[in-house]
Amino acid sequence: MAEQVEIRRLSPAELRAQLDGLAAVLHDCVAGGASVGYMAPFSHADARSAFEGFAAEAEQGRRLILAAFSDGQLVGTAQVVLELMPNQPHRAEIAKVLVHRSARGRGIAGRLMERAEDEARAEGKTLLVLDAVTGGDAARLYDRLGWTTVGVVPNFALYPDGRPCDTTYFWKAL
Ligand SMILES: CC(C)(COP(=O)(O)OP(=O)(O)OC[C@H]1O[C@@H](n2cnc3c(N)ncnc32)[C@H](O)[C@@H]1OP(=O)(O)O)[C@@H](O)C(=O)NCCC(=O)NCCS
């Protein structure tokens, strides 16, 4: 039977109910070496605490959180950061695009990004910005989805094991 993938914007109640699922995806990505803000060692409890913070911001309308469910199981997530400085009301940032290693290569991140753009547009946003590790899986995804490269910042961040990585900034007009 074909896999059923559903993308949903999580309500405050669903966010609370899905905290462990969201944390499991973040934990798996960091365990897999992704440079998404955190250093090793990084536990499930650390990941849950990160998502508790994001959920609190989502409840205040400052960001929105999407989740991808494969046959009912949470396998991916993405965020739209809505609240930036007062002089940038038309702009949002895409953050924490994460797909569990077991669910990669099936177009789930592509669908999360498509939905993130739709949600941002519905919030009145006309410009999106994001950044990704230079030359990585995510940067390839954003290229494929029509994002424009701004440039590379050398040594912008670290991988979880402490090695430095370059970052590429992208933008997309909606
Ligand atoms: C980057 C990331 C989100 C991509 O997730 P994903 O769901 O695997 O992405 P997609 O499936 O849309 O695309 C991945 C690859 O599968 C291919 N693909 C997509 N659908 C496919 C399908 N149905 N059949 C075969 N291949 C497919 C894509 O062409 C792409 O190929 P490429 O890597 O050679 O360019 C994921 O690798 C991840 O979570 N990485 C760690 C966290 C991270 O770095 N996040 C980014 C923060 S900016």
- What average pLDDT does the chain have? 97
- Give the other-Cβ count within 10 Å of 4's Cβ: 9
**Ligand 1 atom closest to residue 130's alpha carbon, by position in its atom list:** 48
Cα distance between residue 171 and residue 128, in whole Å: 6
Question: Hey, which bits of the chain come out as E strands?
Answer: 5-9, 63-70, 73-81, 91-99, 127-133, 148-158, 164-173
Sheet holding 91-99, edge to edge: 5-9, 63-70, 73-81, 91-99, 127-133, 164-173, 148-158
Atom 23 (ligand 1) nearest CA = 106
Instruction: Name the residue with the closest Cα to ligand 1, atom 33.
Output: 137
Is residue 58 scored above 80 in pLDDT? yes
Mean pLDDT of 118-136: 98
Residue 141 C-alpha from the chain's centroid: 12
Residue with CA closest to ligand 1 atom 17: 105
The H or E element spanning position 140 is helix 137-144
| Contact in structure between 128 and 94 (CB atoms under 8 Å) | yes
Radius of gyration of the chain (CA): 15
Distance (angstroms) between ligand 1 centre and the Cα of 109 equals 6
Q: Is the Cβ atom of 109 under 6 angstroms away from ligand 1? A: yes
The whole-number pLDDT of residue 2 equals 66
CB-ligand 1 contact for 111 (6 Å cutoff) = no
pTM: 0.98
Q: Is the pLDDT of residue 1 over 90?
A: no
Q: Which atom from ligand 1 is nearest to the alpha carbon of 29?
A: 41
